[in-house]
């Protein structure tokens, strides 16, 4: 029973996470206080949502490097709308962020689907383009806390049953994703397309179209994170979340999502993101020299992946034993 | 035909009047900025006009290119040489590219100084820095001490990256003046890498690992904003204060939330005023631009020149609830 559990990657990652948290607590006891754990979860919420977005794309053998730029551009657009017309309700702005994010994701998807350009190339381009557009929109100006409406800043901070709305959004999306991947036709198609594209075609799936849809969903979630990020840090400027896309990919890899597509679970992604969240929140409080921090967080990531990366050897099922023998 | 004559006559008349006003001013000082339409420089012009009014007989020509390029500034300088102005005070878009045209100006007897953003020593006589590292370090510590009851308590520094030269110099200067503020201790220095999210997280970590910290000094404009937001989110307003260097437009909200009582940065009005005063005194021969010398600059006191002919105007200007809104409109 225990042996079987230890073969499950998600369980192993969960154990690593708990052990690491306890080790940090041995050095800084306040770390495992409920209040602090709640803070870490809230702080990691945006990373969790983006990791879900990245997972959807990774499953289909693609990668979306533009998500942090999408976040920054959408966040800036929403902040500018709020600054110029503060009377607009938050629901409208959330809607705008979803639509803008969707469109930016769709651009990536169209290039991959219709022109057949490798996703890493397309999104590397849009990574720069989306951030460049922020420059064009703003001339490098910031949108600051006092220019945003109090409702805009407060919405993700409101506490419902002990947790801020930001954390609830992450929990809600994780639940929705679990249902989506487990039971919806499209969710299963994402796995199929990445796992074995040729077989997917024989099964009647349009690989390019499925990848396009994956990019659209990923873009939509990134757009939502744009609003959440700007509201959380109460500032919007060109450089927000620069380099965050790599952190998101790291969270996915730690969580056991295969870069080669088709493999990965929701609990894995959530644990991978929480793992990075714990590391990032622990480094400031355990008093490690800032010169060591980068090297340490990098090493911890590699160790986690190594422990967790026992290749899942799935033996292909032989369905036509007789013909196999004949051949 | 008659129309054309009238037009010509009117033009001549207008031009004549323009020359007349120009000649009425004995000293013409050109204030050349990085680009027109930037709030910071508009404010500097306000200060320059104030100096002109105070001196009398001074015309300030506020000019600059429409985009922040060295090429644009070279064109502006050439036209100023043609107009035979008495002095050029420039905030440069490039340290070296402007040197040849500024040299040409100096060879025609025009006094050239740089301010805010300097040019190499051979392209100007004096460079006016808004402040100096020592003054910035001292002001950061002073603001921290002012916010603590009796000036006693624990403070922490939130910097940019561990290798940021200017940040490290300012932190060093802060530690130098610390003995002048007995009771004030710096218990930690953390690094937010000038990223909003990392600075935020470092501040939250700081509040947890050092609960005794009552003041966070962030001499970086990204860090100070993130720290103020983190203090607000941790419900520590009134208990922990954030101070440091920031821009009024970026900090106005946090001053109103009372996460920050005061912060500092240069005052562009004073800067324009001082640059004009210095240029005037050089033109009038009231001061000599020589290493180790000094130049009077009206209400801002005297500028002390070092061996590179650089001088520091004053302490960084302190912004608080009383003036932040007014300056937030400027920069």
Q: What is the pLDDT of residues A35-53, one digit of tens each?
A: 999 999 999 999 999 999 9
Pair B57, B86 in one domain: yes
By CA distance, what is A158's nearest residue in B?
Answer: B233
Q: Hey, is the C-beta of A127 within 8 angstroms of any chain B C-beta?
A: no
Pair B221, B250 in one domain: yes
Pair B230, B251 in one domain: yes
pLDDT exceeds 50 at position B32: yes
pLDDT of residue A325: 55
Residue B330 falls inside a structural domain: no
10 Å CB burial of residue B266 (0-12, 13-18, 19+) is: buried
Q: Which of A82, A136, A284 to mutate to probe the B interface, most B CBs <10 Å?
A: A284
For chain A, report the end-to-end CA distance as a whole number of angstroms: 39
Q: How far apart are CA B91 and CA B113, in angstroms?
A: 9
Can you give the CATH number for the domain in which B310 is found?
A: 3.40.50.2300
Residue B300 falls inside a structural domain: yes
pLDDT exceeds 80 at position B65: yes
Residue B327 falls inside a structural domain: no
Picking from B162, B206, B328, the nearest residue to A284 by CB comes out as B206
pLDDT exceeds 50 at position B276: yes
Q: What is the pLDDT of residues A226-277, one digit of tens each?
A: 999 999 999 999 889 988 999 999 999 999 898 888 889 999 999 999 999 9
Pair B241, B279 in one domain: no
DSSP A314: P
Please name the residue ranges forming H helices in chain A.
Answer: 2-7, 9-27, 34-59, 67-84, 90-114, 119-138, 150-154, 165-183, 185-195, 197-202, 207-233, 244-254, 266-285, 290-308, 321-326
Residue B240 falls inside a structural domain: yes
Residue B331 falls inside a structural domain: no
Pair B77, B150 in one domain: no
pLDDT of residue A289: 81
> Which of A51, A40, A47, A101 has its CA nearest to residue A285?
A40
Domain A2-310 has CATH 1.10.8: no
At residue B17 the predicted structure's pLDDT band, cuts being 50, 70 and 90, is: very low
Q: Cβ separation of B250 and A283 shorter than 8 Å?
A: no
pLDDT of residue B22: 46
pLDDT exceeds 80 at position B18: no
Pair B140, B257 in one domain: yes
Q: What is the pLDDT of residues B176-206, one digit of tens each?
A: 999 999 999 999 999 998 888 999 999 999 9
pLDDT of residue A327: 45
Per CB-CB distance under 8 Å, the chain B contacts of A148 are 253
Please name the residue ranges forming H helices in chain B.
Answer: 2-24, 39-55, 70-82, 99-107, 133-147, 165-177, 196-209, 221-233, 248-256, 268-283, 324-328
Q: Cβ separation of A233 and B229 shorter than 8 Å?
A: yes
Beta strand B87-90 with B58-63 is unpaired
pLDDT of residue A139: 80
Q: What is the pLDDT of residues A181-190, one digit of tens each?
A: 989 999 999 9
Hunting for tokens 């979803």 — which residue is that? A98
Average pLDDT for A104-115: 96
Q: How far apart are CA B123 and CA B88, in angstroms?
A: 11
At residue B237 the predicted structure's pLDDT band, cuts being 50, 70 and 90, is: very high
pLDDT exceeds 70 at position B9: no
By CA distance, what is A234's nearest residue in B?
Answer: B229
Please tell me chain B's helix, strand, coil percentages from 3-state DSSP, rounded to the nearest 5: 50, 20, 30
**Residue A145 falls in which region: left (phi positive, over 0), alpha (psi -120 to 50) or beta:** alpha
- Give the mean pLDDT of chain A: 90
Do B318 and B145 contact (CB within 8 A), yes or no? no
pLDDT exceeds 70 at position A309: no
Q: Cβ separation of B229 and A281 shorter than 8 Å?
A: no
Q: How far apart are CA A156 and CA A169, in angstroms?
A: 9
Residue B216 falls inside a structural domain: yes
DSSP A315: P
Picking from B190, B201, B208, the nearest residue to A36 by CB comes out as B208
pLDDT of residue B1: 47
Residue B320 falls inside a structural domain: no
Domain ranges in chain A are 2-310
Residue B324 falls inside a structural domain: no
Q: Cβ separation of B162 and A290 shorter than 8 Å?
A: yes
pLDDT of residue A102: 98
Q: Cβ separation of B209 and A28 shorter than 8 Å?
A: yes
Pair B180, B252 in one domain: yes
Pair B229, B152 in one domain: yes
Do A13 and A254 contact (CB within 8 A), yes or no? yes
> Which of A273, A219, A250 has its CA nearest to residue A73?
A219
Average pLDDT for B111-128: 92
Average pLDDT for B231-241: 94
Cβ under 8 Å to B: A residues 160-189: none
The first and second tokens of residue A40, run together, are 């870490």
Per CB-CB distance under 8 Å, the chain A contacts of B327 are none
Overall number of domains in chain B: 2
Q: Quote ipTM for the complex.
A: 0.81
Q: Cβ separation of A235 and B250 shorter than 8 Å?
A: yes
Residue span of the structural domain in which B157 resides = 133-265
At residue B19 the predicted structure's pLDDT band, cuts being 50, 70 and 90, is: very low
By CA distance, what is B252's nearest residue in A?
Answer: A146
Q: Hey, is the C-beta of A157 within 8 angstroms of any chain B C-beta?
A: yes
pLDDT of residue A285: 86
């Amino acid at each position: 029973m225990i042996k079987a559990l230890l073969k499950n990657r998600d369980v192993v990652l969960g154990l690593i996470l708990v052990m690491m948290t306890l080790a940090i607590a041995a050095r800084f006891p306040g770390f495992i206080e409920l209040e602090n754990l709640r803070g870490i979860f809230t702080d990691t919420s945006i990373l969790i949502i983006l990791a879900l977005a990245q997972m959807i794309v990774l499953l289909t053998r693609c990668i979306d490097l533009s998500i942090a730029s999408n976040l920054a551009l959408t966040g800036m657009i929403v902040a500018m709308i709020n600054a110029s017309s503060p009377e607009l309700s938050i629901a409208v702005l959330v809607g705008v962020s979803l639509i803008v994010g969707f469109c930016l994701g769709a651009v990536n998807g169209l290039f991959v689907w219709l022109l057949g350009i490798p996703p890493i190339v397309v999104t590397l381009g849009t990574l720069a383009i989306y951030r460049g557009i922020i420059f064009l929109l703003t001339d490098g100006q910031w949108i600051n806390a006092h220019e945003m409406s109090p409702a805009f800043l407060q919405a993700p901070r409101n506490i419902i049953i002990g947790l801020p709305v930001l954390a609830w959004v992450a929990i809600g999306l994780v639940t929705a994703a679990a249902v989506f991947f487990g039971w919806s036709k499209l969710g299963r198609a994402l796995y199929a397309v990445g796992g074995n594209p040729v077989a997917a075609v024989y099964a009647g799936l349009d690989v390019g179209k499925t990848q396009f849809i994956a990019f659209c969903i990923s873009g939509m979630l990134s757009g939502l994170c744009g609003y959440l990020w700007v509201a959380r840090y109460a500032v919007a400027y060109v450089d927000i979340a620069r380099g965050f896309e790599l952190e998101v990919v790291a969270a996915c890899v730690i969580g056991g999502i295969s870069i080669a597509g088709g493999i990965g679970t929701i609990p894995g992604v959530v644990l991978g993101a929480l793992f990075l969240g714990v590391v990032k929140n622990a480094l400031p409080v355990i008093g490690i020299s800032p010169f060591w921090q980068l090297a340490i967080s990098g090493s911890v990531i590699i160790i986690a992946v190594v422990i967790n990366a026992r290749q899942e050897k799935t033996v292909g099922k032989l369905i036509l034993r007789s013909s196999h023998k004949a051949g | 035909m008659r129309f054309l004559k009238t037009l010509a006559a009117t033009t001549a008349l207008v031009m004549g009047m323009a020359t007349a006003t120009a000649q009425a001013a004995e000293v013409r000082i050109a204030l050349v900025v990085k680009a027109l339409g930037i709030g910071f420089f508009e404010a500097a012009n306000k200060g320059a006009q104030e100096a002109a009014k105070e001196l009398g007989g001074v015309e300030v020509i506020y000019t600059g290119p429409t985009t922040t390029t060295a090429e644009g500034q070279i064109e502006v300088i050439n036209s100023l040489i043609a107009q035979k102005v008495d002095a050029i005070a420039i905030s440069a878009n490039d340290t070296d590219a402007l040197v040849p045209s500024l040299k040409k100006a100096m060879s025609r007897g025009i006094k050239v100084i740089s301010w805010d953003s300097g040019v190499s020593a051979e392209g100007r006589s004096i460079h006016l820095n808004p402040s100096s590292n020592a003054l910035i370090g001292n002001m950061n510590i002073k603001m921290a001490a002012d916010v603590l009851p009796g000036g006693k308590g624990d403070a922490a520094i939130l910097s940019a990256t561990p290798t940021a030269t200017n940040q490290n110099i300012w932190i060093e200067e802060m530690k130098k003046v610390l003995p002048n503020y007995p009771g004030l201790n710096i218990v930690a220095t953390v690094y937010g890498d000038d990223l909003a999210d990392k600075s935020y997280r470092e501040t939250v970590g700081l509040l947890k690992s050092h609960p005794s910290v009552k003041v966070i000094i962030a001499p970086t404009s990204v860090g100070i904003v993130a720290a103020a937001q983190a203090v607000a989110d941790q419900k520590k307003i009134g208990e922990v204060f954030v101070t440091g260097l920031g821009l009024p437009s970026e900090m106005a909200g946090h001053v109103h939330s009372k996460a920050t009582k005061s912060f500092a940065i240069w005052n562009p009005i004073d800067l324009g005023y001082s640059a004009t005063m210095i240029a005037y005194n050089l033109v009038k021969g009231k001061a000599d631009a020589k290493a180790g010398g000094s130049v009077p600059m009206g209400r801002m006191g005297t500028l002390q020149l070092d061996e590179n002919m650089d001088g520091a105007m004053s302490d960084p200007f302190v912004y608080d609830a009383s003036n932040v809104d007014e300056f937030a409109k400027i920069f």
